[in-house]
Structures are given as structure tokens and as C-alpha cells.
Amino acid sequence: MRDALAEPLRLVTEPLAALGRGLATVGAVAADVQELRTRLAQTIAERDEAVASASRVASLEREITELQAVLDLRSTIRFSSVAVQVVARDFEIGRRLVVIDRGARDGIQVGDVVIGAGNTLAGRVIEVSDASAQVRLISDPEFSVTAEIASTGAIGLIKGRGANPLAFEDIDSLREVPIGAEVTTSGIELSQTLRSAFPRGLSIGRVVTLSDQAGTVIKNAEVESILELDAARTLLVILNYRGGLPLPSDAP
């Protein structure tokens, strides 16, 4: 009898709970967009007040352009996201890490993908605290991602190299790799639970050099990142994309 009564109650309460979560998400997105708009307006006002300092005005102009680009991106991507500010950088030899001003209380988790203006891959979250998180940039030597040139079908592995251009390695020598071609994440997806750690189609950069030795089965290239990784201040963290192999606890 108890089970018979519990079932109708569950059917009523679960949709209500889902509705509540949906409304909370909508509210959070609206607040986040409003915060971006407020920061943009404040930066424009600060620029107008700083006309006496040419270097300061140039810096503010760059920030305004970045804020506007991220605001535009926020309104067009298909994923749920949260805007973040870079508050610290760790660019010691062999590292390219940044700290952002949002964390677990904003829904950020380890493994979340981080993007910048122009729907460009910036990195991935590697550590999270309540109010902040650490991001490994794509320029970090420990970062790698499968990438492609969509126009030719060339697929290879992008690896970070610090201040140097990104390495684009292990490309089939039969595939064309034009200088200037755009490189994007390949985002291979076999199922909802077995797919690439990164969504497909995120821009990475453009090919600047090519090493193609005769008689070899693979070739390598260098890619210049589109995003100014060392100077980026405003980024977006994607909250609702889960890629990579499922955790053992989630496996059937």
C-alpha cells in the first residue's frame, strides 16, 4: 500500500523539482549576462575618463572588445556557461595556468571546457574551490587535444608548447595541411557517454608552418592560437558538456 501511494507522489514531485531547477538556471544565466553588460558599461566609462593616458586607453579598448565578444558568444553558443575573469596567472617555465574568479558554487567542475572570444578553445578546468578554479591553457605543455582541418579532413594531435606556437602532430601525410588553414577540435562522439573531452568545432588556431618530409607516413605542423592566451581576461566556462570516458562509478 505504501508503495502504491508513493508512486503518484513521485510522479508529481519530480516534474516540479525539475521545473524548479530549470527556473534557477534561467535566473542564473540572466544574472550572468547582466553582470557582463554592467562590466562592459563600467569599462567604457573608465576609458572615457582616461583619455589623458594613451596606453591606459589602449588597454581599456582591448578589454571592451573582449567583453563585447564574450557577451556576443554567450548569446550564441548552444551550451550553458558562466562568464569568468582571470585573476592570476602562472607562466613559470613549463606551465601555462590561470586562476579564475568562479568556482564550485557557480556550478564549475573539474574537466569543464573553457572558451574565449570567437568560440575559441582556451583550456580546461583542473582544480576547483568554492569561489575559484584553476585552468590549464591549451598552451601548457601538459595539454593535448585531437584536432582537425575540416576543409581537408586532416586530423592530428594539438599539444601546448608554452610561449611557442602549438604543435600539430601525427597528421596523415596523405592529407593536405594548407598554411593559414583553420584548426578546430574534432569532437569525436560515439554516444552520449563515450565522446571526446571537448565539443566539436571549437576554434584553436591557424597553421603557420609545415614539416612534411618525403617518404614519411605522418607530418607535423605548427599552429598559432587565435586567442591571445597570455592576455585574455574574460572567458566562458561550459557547464553542461561532459566528455571523455565515463568514471568507473558511472559505468554499468
pLDDT in tens, 30-67: 778 888 888 888 888 787 776 656 666 677 778 888 88
Alpha-carbon distance values, 1 to 5, 14, 164 (Å)? 6, 20, 69
pLDDT of residue 158: 96
User: Which fold does the domain 81-245 belong to in CATH?
Assistant: Thrombin, subunit H (2.40.10)
CA distance 213 to 138: 27
Q: What kind and span of H or E run contains 203?
A: strand 203-211
In the chain (252 residues long), the average pLDDT of successive 10-residue segments reads: 49 49 58 84 78 67 83 87 94 92 96 94 97 97 94 94 94 94 86 75 96 86 93 93 59 38
Enumerate residues 6+ apart whose C-beta is below 8 A from 188. 146, 195, 196, 200
Nearest Cα neighbor of 143 from 133, 134, 152 is 134
Q: Give me the chain's average pLDDT, please.
A: 83
Parallel, antiparallel or unpaired: strands 113-116 and 97-100: unpaired
pLDDT of residue 224: 97
pLDDT of residue 252: 38
Alpha-carbon distance values, 216 to 106, 166, 172, 210 (Å)? 49, 21, 9, 14
pLDDT of residue 176: 94
Asked if 62 and 199 touch (Cβ cutoff 8 Å), the reply is no
pLDDT of residue 248: 46
First to last CA, the chain: 31
CA distance 225 to 168: 11
pLDDT of residue 143: 96
3-state class of 188 per DSSP?
coil
Per domain, the residue ranges of the chain are: 1-76, 81-245
